[in-house]
Amino acid sequence: MGLGIIGARVLLDEFAETAVSIEGERITALSEAPKPADLTIQAKDCLVLPGIVDCHGDAFERHIMPRPGVAFDIDLALRDADRALLASGITTAFHGVTWSWEPGLRGAENARRLVERISALKPELGADTRFHMRHETFNLDAEDEIAAWLAEGRIGVLAFNDHTEGTLKSRHRPDKIGKMVERTGLSHDAFMQLVDRIYARKPEVAGSIARLAEAAHRAGVPTLSHDDMSPEMRREHRALGITVAEFPINEATAREAASAGEAIVFGAPNVVRGGSHTGCPAAEEMVREGLCTILASDYYYPALPLAPFRLAERGAASLPAAWKLVSQNPAAALRLNDRGQIAPGLRADLVIIRPQPTPRVVATIAGGRLVHLADQDLLKR
């Protein structure tokens, strides 16, 4: 008979007191009285919201390598991350893992292993777990393999990143370069020699980006540009069909994306902390200006369910509008038309939050299954 939720305020267009009935993976009804159910959740004093769609969660790298050079098995990392995701109400997760020209954590073997293990473990994970391929654009030797993965449906989203230029600029900063070198397992000299060899191929990069963008479009895989530096760079990516701007580096670039009606991603930790830790635009201000349409967990999962409440408390957006930044908007941008809202027929991805005294995820339902429960009182009759 499925699952029922009663006693809560449910986010539809606005909050409404209604019961939610679930059969299998789908929401079947919203009504004053729930249908008979095998399990009923008594969610008095709670809010029921659409499950969170996290388009960029690179905190996953820390589950693989919690300290530089200290690696753990990817299966263990995937299972551990799944628990953390569900406790934060994240029901659709795109693990942001970089495949770069460097060896080690961001090397080819790690990327290959992750693609294989996400597919193998997917049935046992609570969150709908997918691969956010953070492609370093100077990683030219990987182009053919990435194109094949796109065609095979192994990649959930493809993001174009360039940290090579920044690495070169940081070569005389031991504090920055040291961390990069440590995760590769190379000596400092060997790492810098590798950087120089890679950078010498810069004339080949633009053509590779164009070919991979086209391969993604043929495969129906959404594409993102990461850290666009200028309006001109945003326009260049738009011309290639890369129409999601992820973490634009300044307001002018965000405005360029907004002028074309493009999705614009900023970090939820930026909202919760009250600003960027790298000097980039403050996400709250971007929301106020209509220059942020999606929030991502970035490097800290728990910020995602909290950020909409912080935005509402500070008057940057109503809670229903703010919650769209973590549910409906990312689902639409990533072409996941079966989730992001609460309505009959849609996938039953829901998060139950007790808003007082501090917003706290007390239960998560993903694909119609109760996959996280932090308050046993919800099951009392």
Q: State yes or no: pLDDT of 94 exceeds 90.
A: yes
Give the model confidence (pLDDT) of 237-250 as tens digits: 999 999 999 999 99
Q: State yes or no: pLDDT of 61 exceeds 90.
A: no
pLDDT at 67: 87
Average confidence (pLDDT) over 196-224: 96
Average confidence (pLDDT) over 122-131: 96
pLDDT at 175: 65
pLDDT at 203: 96
Q: State yes or no: pLDDT of 265 exceeds 70.
A: yes
If pLDDT is split at 50, 70 and 90, which confidence band does 54 have? very high
pLDDT at 349: 98
3-state secondary structure the chain: CCEEEECCEEECCCEEECEEEEECCEEEEEECCCCCCCEEEECCCCEEEECEEEEEECCHHHHHCCECCECCCHHHHHHHHHHHHHHCCEEEEEEEEEECCCCHHHCHHHHHHHHHHHHHHHHHCCCEEEEEEEEECCCHHHHHHHHHHHHCCCCCEEEEECCHHHHHHCCCCHHHHHHHHHHHCCCHHHHHHHHHHHHCCHHHHHHHHHHHHHHHHHHCCCEEEECCCCHHHHHHHHHCCCCEEECCCCHHHHHHHHHCCCEEEEEHHHHHHCCCCCCCCCHHHHHHCCCCCEEECECCCCHHHHHHHHHHHCCCCCHHHHHHCCCHHHHHHCCCCCCCCCCCCCECCEEEEECCCCCEEEEEEECCEEEEECCHHHHCC
pLDDT at 263: 98
Give the model confidence (pLDDT) of 334-344 as tens digits: 999 999 999 99
pLDDT at 174: 67
Give the model confidence (pLDDT) of 111-126 as tens digits: 999 999 999 999 999 9
Looking at per-residue pLDDT, the higher value among 316 and 97 belongs to 316
Give the model confidence (pLDDT) of 136-185 as tens digits: 999 999 999 999 999 999 999 999 999 887 777 666 676 667 777 777 88
Q: Tell me the average pLDDT of the chain.
A: 93
- Tell me the angle at which helices 74-87 and 108-121 cross, rounded to the nearest 10 degrees: 60
Q: State yes or no: pLDDT of 35 exceeds 70.
A: yes
pLDDT at 186: 86
Give the model confidence (pLDDT) of 276-302 as tens digits: 877 789 999 999 999 999 999 999 999
Domains of the chain, earliest start first: 3-49+341-379 (2.30.40.10), 51-333 (3.20.20.140)
pLDDT at 308: 98
| Share above pLDDT 70 across residues of the chain, in percent, rounded to a whole number | 97
Strand 19-23 relative to strand 15-17, pairing: unpaired
Strand 244-246 relative to strand 223-226, pairing: parallel
pLDDT at 354: 97
pLDDT at 170: 67
Average confidence (pLDDT) over 5-25: 96
Lowest-confidence region among 78-87, 165-174, 211-220, 302-311: 165-174
pLDDT at 172: 66
pLDDT at 201: 94
Average confidence (pLDDT) over 312-336: 98
